[in-house]
Amino acid sequence: MIGWNRREFGQSGEAIAARYVERLGWRILGRNVRIGKGELDITAMDGRDLVILEVRSRRVGKLMPAETSVGPMKLRTLIKTARKYVEKISFDGCWRIDVIAITEDESGNIGIELFQDATMGMGGPFMG
């Protein structure tokens, strides 16, 4: 089990996600980055692209899969917070928002799925 209570489960999911993107060759810039009232789970560099990662952890049997729990309202909040972050660090390259879904099955096996550019189609500012 990756966490006994909801908070521990979420923290464990974020740690798993961070290790996963590091194995992809990405460089982690920050975790749980607070920008105003918002928070970005993980910020990383994928080559020359800045990636804002929203991590969602679920156990099998929940009403909806982890990746579908990031709805339009959450995406709008992520976009707003990401824009502030990009401005704060004076980043002038390409950037995007990805979702990493961490799913634990009944046997404790962990599945990881990366959904790149989760805001596609929302009119975001994502490639510079």
Mean pLDDT of 63-80: 73
HEC profile of 1-50: CCCCCHHHHHHHHHHHHHHHHHHCCCEEEEEEEEECCEEEEEEEEECCEE
What pLDDT, on the 0 to 100 scale, is given for residue 83?
Answer: 93
Digit-coded pLDDT (tens) for 11-53: 889 999 999 999 999 999 999 999 988 999 999 999 999 999 9
- pLDDT (0 to 100) of residue 17: 96
The pLDDT-based confidence of 66 (bands split at 50, 70, 90) is: low
The structural domains of the chain, ordered by start, are: 6-115 (3.40.1350.10)
pLDDT at 103 > cutoff 90 = no
pLDDT of residue 109 exceeding 60: yes
Q: Helix (H, G, I), strand (E, B), or coil: what is residue 68?
A: helix
Instruction: Say yes or no to pLDDT of 115 above 80.
Output: yes
